[in-house]
Every structure is written in C-alpha cells, then in structure tokens.
Amino acid sequence: MQDVTDLAFMQMLSEYGCPDYYVTEYFRVYANSNIDKKILRSITHNNTGRPVFAQLIGESIPDLLRITKQLIGYPIAGIDLNLGCPAPRVYRKNVGGGLLREPDTIERIFAALRSQISGLFTVKMRVGFDSTTNFDRLLQLINQYQIDLLSLHGRTVKELYRGEVHYDLIRHAVQTVNCPVLANGNITSYLKAEAVLQETGAAGVMIGRAAIRNPWIFQQIRDRLAGQPVRAIALSDVYHYIQHLHAITCQDTLREKSHINSLKKFLNFIGTGIDPEGQFLAGMRLVQSKQELFELCDRYLLEHPDRPLAIEPYENLIARPSCESNA
C-alpha cells in the first residue's frame, strides 16, 4: 500500500503477527528514474524475518529492465509488477491498472522482464480496466510467461473499492493459470478470508487495508485455518496499537498538526470497527493535536476497555468516502 507499508509499518506488523511475505510500496519507473531510497530501506533494513518483494509500476520497458537489474542486487524475494493500482492519477499515465487496456503492451513487458528475472516474478492485477474483455487474454499471458504468483483483486479498475468483489472471476483464474493465485478484495477478517478461500480455491489471500484496521488479522487467519482458538481483540488493544502508530510515524521535522493529520490515513480504517454509530470516526476526523486525539481514544477505547473490536467493519461506516461510497 503506497504511503503505508514502509519499513516502520512492516516492522510494527511483525509484533502483531507477520504476513507470510511483504510487498514494498511501488518503485515508480520512468525515464531517468532512480530507486527510491526510502522504499529501498524496507528491503535493506528489514528485520522482520519475512521475504520482501520489490514492487514496480511503469510502462517503459528499458527503464523497467534498468531498475530491475539494480534491484536484483539487493536481498529481495522477487520482482512484483503492479497492474492493479486504480488511482486515476496513476492509470491516466498508462501505468498500474491503466495497462489492463493494453494486453499487447503487457505482453511486451512480461517478455522483457521474464528474460531478465531468473528468480520469482509475480504480478498484481485487477480483472480488467472498465470491463473484463481482456481478462482471459491476460490469464493466458500469465501462463505464457511463467509468472510465479498472481495476486488478483476481483474488481475492475473503474470499480475502485466499490460494490461486490467478483470472486467468481478469481475462481476462474485459479482454474486457468498454472501459478498460485492470491485472492484480494474485501478480505476484511479471518472469517472472510476463510470464506473466500473456500469459494475461490485460491492458494491464499492478499490483505492491504484490513491490516491497517486490524494488524492481528494475519495471526487470526493462521489460527482459524489451523483449527485453533482465535484471539478476540479488545478496544484496549486498539488503544495501544494507536499509541504504537503515533510513535512510529513521529518525525522531528513534522509539526504536531501535520503528524496527527498524517495518522488519519490509518485511523480512518481503524475507526470503522470501534463503534457502530461512527462517533469515534467522526471525532477523529476533527482532532488537530495529540492531546485531542488521545482524549478521544480515552473516551471510546478505555471507558469500556474489554469491549471487542468488531470482527468486520461496521457496514454503515466508510473509511474513505471519496473511494468507497456507491454514489
């Protein structure tokens, strides 16, 4: 997740229950681009004990090859190509999800990267741009160029994060491609992960936004699939998690108001599981200082500290109104 899964967040997650592997924020690749040193730290300084894939986004084949050659010199688990980012500012540059409109271009990129990558080459994509017209062709290319792992979000780019996920298309991919498929899209809890795995037959799930709301989700999924008791997360646990987030995002050069506002990209997701009326969520969006934030946390998280965090986000609450509303 761009601007979220940096080194500090990866290391913090390891204290709650690591995912099986991490994917970096994407390295933007274009003419004369360089490797982003901040993102590179999530590879070179990663002490979580988990493999880390280097994620690329771009369309210039010479530059993709150039950056790939450089990254292979670092301790990466493999190269991951982003064909799924649905942000308009990204796809309008014909990268990320925008490339799904051009399977011929994707084929040329696959051919070039596969010729240079002797190790793992993975792909993250959606089921199409504004339709699924190219979906079967893309799955054919996954097989033709021996992609090692496909992470598939079951919506089109234009669907963003709205509406139902097309899990039937993920199941179709599982039955079509030769590599393992990870199901992605609305994997909001360990119960949803279990249901999606049963429905799609996928080898696993890829989790992004739900790990912000509930960093315990990876261990919960492992316990559920192993038939072990699943730990219930109390609101007091969430309080300490927010304290942790505040600490890892604190920078000497950042003003307090800016720091609190930057925290809201996390708190928007956390707030969808705290109270069904959304009062924490609404109050959080108004706070401007550390004192105001933790007074709010005291009120909603510590007055009833043993109350559980909702297993699923409350249905009437929206973390990112501009992306997730059905309007």
**Residues noted as catalytic:** 85
Kindly list the distances between the CA atom of residue 8 and the CA atoms of 43, 136, 155, 189, in Å, as whole numbers in the listed order: 12, 38, 30, 23
What is the enclosing helix (H) or strand (E) of 187? none
User: What does the alpha-carbon distance between residue 146 and residue 214 come to, in Å, rounded to a whole number?
Assistant: 34
Using CA atoms in the order 156, 318, 181, 1, what is the torsion angle rounded to 10 degrees?
90
**Residue 94 DSSP SS3:** coil
Query: Are residues 86 and 55 in contact, defined by beta-carbon separation less than 8 angstroms?
Result: no
Q: Is 27:71 a contact under the CB 8 Å cutoff?
A: yes
| Amino acid, single-letter form, for residue 37 | K
Please report how the helices 256-270 and 290-297 are oriented relative to each other, as an axis angle in degrees rounded to 10. 30
Exposed (0-12), middle (13-18) or buried (19+): which is 326, by Cβ within 10 Å? exposed
Residue 186's alpha-carbon distances to 107, 164, 262, in angstroms, are 29, 9, 24
